[in-house]
């Protein structure tokens, strides 16, 4: 199996009362809370941790795109990706991803990803996303009912542009270009494409039809995620899709320490900071037209494995450290315990691509660096056997070869 280092890019110096006083950490939180110099320090922290992960055997360094939020200060993940492309050697760089419907014209995404693929020597994963309602509908003003249509038109333009051997005209509903001829073209003949989702049937159909990797980027724990991940695999099997576990990517917060007691002492405050400081207003998360009737029906009939009371307590930072662990929000403890828990998670849910969150909330950089070291040296090597006999076409070939050559990881 593969491991991907996720840089969520939190703002690390929010006041304690922030989560209780702002209506939402998205769209409308006062920008005065963010000291630009501190933002710069936070960016540098993440860059250093990702560079360390590149030297410890992670298979990719993963970045996302969000807007107007303290949760993820990455309005342009491609900017950070360009730094990593020039300063790392082994890991792929996963853009998970670019919100296609927000670009006008979206050919810019094709150009920038091709540029990054050339700069990195063919190590780019092209994650492409529909975008959260907070990003797309409220921060960027895209009508929710247009979002999927815009996304698919942009995806068609981008993937066609990467392969075209001569200029062509593109006459879409939202984008009209007389000449499409991007320079440079990608190094990879087939750039791996991932589409993150939160359980909508339409996204499942897209990734199955195109044989993309599906990324369930959830921070709500295994018990909440299990019905959605199982639902994806059941839907995939029923529609004749590819059941390769490497088509499933899953986020997991990791809190590794020398002892269980040390894990609680070092990570508890940062875990609570993350969940307590990130409220989302319900009206921002559920605009009319964003979710289809089919997906609403699927969600209503989906089994609920965590109570509403527990979910609310988790969101408010009111669970104990080991309650977060029990519900799967985090996997914590010694390398031995973490390895056992990760193995069970990935084998039970058919997860071939684990997106590890090694830094969370306001965690100190030295603690995150030790987390990297323990997981990279004592956990990852022991888990390489999981799904090792399955082909992986969703991680760049060159990064697989480099990681295998340096760290002895199997490639298929």
Instruction: Report how far residue 52's alpha carbon sits from residue 344's, in angstroms, rounded to the nearest whole number.
Output: 27
* Residue 376, phi then psi, degrees to nearest 5: -70, -35
Render the burial of 307-342: b for 16+ CB within 10 Å, e for the rest.
eeebbebbbebebebeebbebbbbbbbbbebbbebb
Domain boundary assignment for the chain: 2-407
Residue 376 contacts residue 58 (beta carbons within 8 Å): yes
Computed over every residue of the chain, the mean pLDDT equals 94
- The answer, yes or no, to whether residue 149 has pLDDT greater than 70, is yes
- Cβ atoms of 213 and 113 within 8 Å: the answer is no
Q: Where are the alpha helices (DSSP H) in 30-139?
A: 36-54, 77-87, 107-120, 133
The pLDDT, as a whole number, for residue 308 is: 81
Mean pLDDT over 160-170 rounds to: 96
Q: What is the DSSP string of 1-19?
A: -EEEEEE----S---TTHH
Alpha helices (runs of H) in 182-292, residue ranges in sequence order: 201-210, 222-238, 260-276, 282-285
- Per residue in 209-229, pLDDT (tens digit) is 999 999 998 888 888 889 999
Q: What is the pLDDT of residue 411?
A: 47
pLDDT value at residue 409: 65
**Domain 2-407 classification at class level:** alpha beta
Q: What is the pLDDT of residue 412?
A: 46
Q: Give the model confidence (pLDDT) of 265-323 as tens digits.
A: 999 999 999 999 999 999 999 899 988 877 777 776 766 677 888 888 998 999 999 99
Percentage of the chain modeled with pLDDT above 90: 87
Q: What does the pLDDT read at residue 199?
A: 78
Pairing of strands 213-216, 193-197: parallel
Mean pLDDT of 183-188: 96
Half-sphere exposure of 336 (CA within 13 A, CB side): 3
How many other CB atoms sit within 10 Å of the CB of residue 296? Answer: 13
User: If we measure between CA atoms, which residue out of 57, 46, 6 comes closest to residue 378?
Assistant: 57
pLDDT value at position 307?
80
- Average pLDDT on 251-275 reads 97
Compute CA distances 187 → 2, 85, 89, 167, whole Å. 22, 13, 16, 18
Give the pLDDT of residue 147: 94
Which tokens in the block code for residue 200? 């909508």
> Alpha carbon of 42 to those of 11, 13, 221: distances in Å?
7, 9, 25
């Amino acid at each position: 199996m593969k491991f991907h280092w996720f840089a969520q890019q939190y703002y690390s110096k929010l006041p304690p009362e922030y989560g209780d006083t702002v209506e939402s950490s998205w769209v409308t939180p006062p920008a005065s809370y963010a000291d630009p110099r501190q933002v710069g320090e936070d960016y540098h922290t993440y860059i250093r941790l990702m560079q360390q992960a590149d030297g410890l055997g992670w298979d990719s360094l993963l970045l996302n795109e969000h807007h107007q939020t303290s949760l993820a200060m990455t309005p342009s993940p491609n900017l950070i990706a360009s730094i990593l492309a020039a300063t790392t050697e082994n890991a792929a760089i996963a853009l998970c991803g670019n919100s296609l419907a927000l670009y006008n014209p979206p050919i810019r995404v094709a150009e920038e990803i091709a540029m990054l693929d050339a700069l990195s020597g063919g190590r780019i994963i092209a994650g492409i996303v529909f975008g959260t309602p907070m990003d797309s509908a409220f921060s960027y003003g895209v009508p929710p009912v247009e979002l999927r249509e815009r996304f698919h038109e942009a995806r068609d333009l981008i993937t066609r542009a990467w392969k075209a051997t001569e200029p062509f005209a593109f006459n879409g509903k939202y984008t009209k270009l007389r000449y499409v001829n991007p320079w440079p073209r990608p190094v990879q003949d087939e750039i791996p494409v991932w589409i993150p989702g939160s359980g909508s049937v339409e996204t499942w159909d897209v990734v199955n039809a195109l044989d993309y990797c599906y990324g369930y980027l959830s921070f709500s724990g295994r018990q909440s995620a299990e019905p959605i991940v199982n639902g994806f695999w059941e839907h995939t099997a029923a529609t004749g899709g590819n059941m390769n576990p490497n088509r499933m990517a899953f986020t997991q917060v990791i809190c590794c320490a020398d002892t269980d007691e040390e894990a609680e002492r070092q990570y508890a405050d940062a875990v609570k900071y993350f969940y307590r400081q990130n409220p989302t207003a319900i009206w921002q998360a559920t605009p009319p037209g964003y979710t289809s009737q089919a997906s609403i029906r699927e969600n209503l009939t989906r089994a609920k494995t965590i109570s509403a009371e527990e979910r609310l307590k988790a969101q408010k930072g009111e669970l104990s450290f080991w309650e977060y662990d029990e519900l799967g929000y985090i996997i914590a403890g010694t390398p031995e315990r973490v390895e056992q828990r990760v193995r069970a998670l990935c084998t039970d849910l058919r997860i071939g691509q684990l997106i590890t969150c090694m830094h969370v909330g306001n965690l100190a950089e030295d603690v995150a660096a030790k987390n990297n070291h323990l997981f990279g040296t004592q956990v990852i090597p022991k888990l390489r056997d999981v799904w090792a006999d399955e082909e992986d076409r969703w991680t760049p070939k060159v990064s697989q070869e480099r990681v295998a050559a340096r760290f002895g990881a199997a490639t298929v």
